Each structure stands twice: as structure tokens, then as C-alpha cells.
């Protein structure tokens, strides 16, 4: 099914949730602010943000980071992290992840903790938005193929108005890693 979410609206929701969590004005939360470095969010705030975005949109965002998924899928992250820092393939992996890191956010040799620290409001909104690229092929209730937003801006089936949820965020993230490494695996075989 199509993804009916509008990224700019998800960005607005993310800013509103953060403003409430961090007791800040929405105007002071810029889309390219780092959640931890610029806004001072701690790990509990981030768990809360993930939970509230998930509740708002009806999805479960990933709990495990992309590099840990790569470790599980590939048995090692050596293709992506070398000498403690990102490789070219690691940069491509982060860019292709649900969080859709931009080229400007990443550099060769960047450490995983630095990537985490550089994660912005936009990355969080992207993660939620991109997860809705992983809706079921058709509505589980009525088999219609089109998704839309209802008046409360929730993702619903255009046929029967049932709320639609994408695949679990960790499953989506794992699939993206698998798709990313598949060509390499074929080359090896
Ligand atoms: Zn339906």
C-alpha cells in the first residue's frame, strides 16, 4: 500500500512531542537540531519520543540501531565499521537506513557514538515516515490497496477506514540491511 504520510507533518509532530518532553517552545526546536547535543535530550527522553511518535502514528519504531542489525544479518560489522569508524559502505548503509542520514551528517571514520549524537529532529521524523513505506500489500480487513489519512491524520484504509500499521520497525530495519548487503553476497557466491 502507498505511504500517505507527509514528511513535513511528521516533522511538525516530532517537534511538538519534543517541545512537550523537554519543556521547550516548539519554535526553539529546529528541524536540523541534534536531539542530544543541541536539545539536551537524554536516553529516557529518546525512549519517550520513540513511544509517543509510535502512538501518534500507529507504528513501532526500531529499538535496535542499524549497525546492530547489520551485525546480526552479516555476522560482523567489519564492512561498515573499520578501526572504530565508518567506512564508505557504512556511510551508504546509514544513508539508506530508515533515519535517512544525509551526506552532510556523515564522514569517513565517524564513530557510532558520533552518529548517534548527530541524529536530528529530521532523522527521527524520517524514521517514522519511512517506516510507512512498509505497509501491508493490501488492507488486512478488506483487501483494498490504497491507504489515506483520516481527519485525525492517522493512516487508514481508503476502502474500510481501518487503521493501518506498518511492519515492526526492527523488522523493517533488518530488511533494509538485508537488501543492502544482498548484491555483495551474490558477488561472493
Ligand atoms: Zn480496508
Domain ranges of the chain: 7-188
Return the CATH fold of 7-188. Answer: 1.10.1200
Q: How many angstroms separate the alpha carbon of residue 147 from the centre of ligand 1?
A: 9
pLDDT by position in tens, the chain (length 189)? 999 999 999 999 999 999 999 999 999 999 999 999 999 999 999 999 999 999 999 999 999 999 999 999 999 999 999 999 999 999 999 999 999 999 999 999 999 999 999 999 999 999 999 999 999 999 999 999 999 999 999 999 999 999 999 999 999 999 999 999 886 555 444
State the pairing for strand pair 81-82/147-149.
unpaired
The pTM assigned to this predicted structure is 0.93
- How many A from CA of 57 to the centre of ligand 1? 17
CA of 162 to the centre of ligand 1 (A): 6
How big is the chain by its Cα radius of gyration, in Å?
17
Amino acid at each position: 500500500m502507498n505511504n500517505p504520510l507527509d514528511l513535513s507533518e511528521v516533522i511538525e509532530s516530532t517537534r511538538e512531542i519534543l517541545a512537550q518532553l523537554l519543556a521547550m517552545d516548539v519554535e526553539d526546536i529546529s528541524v536540523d537540531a541534534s536531539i542530544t547535543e543541541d536539545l539536551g535530550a537524554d536516553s529516557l527522553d529518546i525512549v519517550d519520543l520513540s513511544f509517543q511518535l509510535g502512538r501518534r502514528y500507529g507504528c513501532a519504531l526500531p529499538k535496535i540501531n542499524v549497525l546492530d542489525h547489520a551485525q546480526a544479518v552479516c555476522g560482523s560489522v567489519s564492512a561498515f565499521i573499520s578501526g572504530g569508524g565508518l567506512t564508505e559502505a557504512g556511510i551508504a548503509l546509514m544513508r539508506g537506513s530508515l533515519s535517512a542520514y544525509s551526506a552532510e551528517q556523515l564522514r569517513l571514520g565517524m564513530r557510532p557514538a558520533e552518529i548517534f549524537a548527530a541524529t536530528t529532529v529530521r532523522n527521527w521524523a524520517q524514521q517514522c515516515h519511512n517506516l510507512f513505506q512498509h505497509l501491508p500489500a493490501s488492507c488486512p480487513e478488506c483487501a483494498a490497496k490504497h491507504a489515506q489519512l483520516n481527519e485525525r491524520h492517522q493512516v487508514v484504509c481508503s476502502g474500510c477506514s481501518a487503521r493501518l500499521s506498518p511492519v515492526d520497525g526492527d523488522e523493517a530495519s533488518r530488511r533494509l540491511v538485508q537488501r543492502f548487503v544482498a548484491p555483495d553476497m551474490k558477488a561472493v557466491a
